[in-house]
């Protein structure tokens, strides 16, 4: 059944893999990227989830990447 906007065929399907390494540290395998992209948490997010300072190395969150992509 066609969608309301008239588009009936899938044009693109993103092929992304996420690998959990440890704790909040994850690697994303993204199309057109030769190297994996690292995700984790940083100070405000770690505090929100009750992760003690120093328990995890600070890394950019998936939320940060989502906001940057939407703003771009």
Boundaries of every domain in the chain: 19-71
Q: Is 53 helix (H, G, I), strand (E, B) or coil?
A: coil
Query: Cβ(59)–Cβ(27) under 8 Å?
Result: no
Q: Which long-range contacts (CB under 8 A, 24 or more apart) does 45-50 make?
A: none
Can you list the alpha helix ranges (DSSP code H) found in 1-72? 43-48, 62-71
pLDDT > 70: percent of the chain: 90
- What is the phi/psi pair of residue 38, to 5°? -90, 135
Tokens of 70: 């939407």
pTM: 0.71
pLDDT digits (tens, 9 = 90+) for 8-29: 788 899 999 999 999 899 999 9
């Amino acid at each position: 059944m066609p969608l309301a906007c008239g588009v009936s065929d899938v044009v693109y399907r993103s092929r992304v893999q996420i690998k959990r390494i440890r704790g909040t540290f994850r690697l994303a395998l993204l199309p057109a990227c030769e190297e994996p992209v690292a995700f984790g948490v940083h100070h405000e997010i770690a505090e929100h989830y009750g992760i003690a300072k120093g328990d995890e190395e600070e890394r950019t969150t998936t939320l940060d990447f989502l906001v940057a992509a939407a703003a771009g």
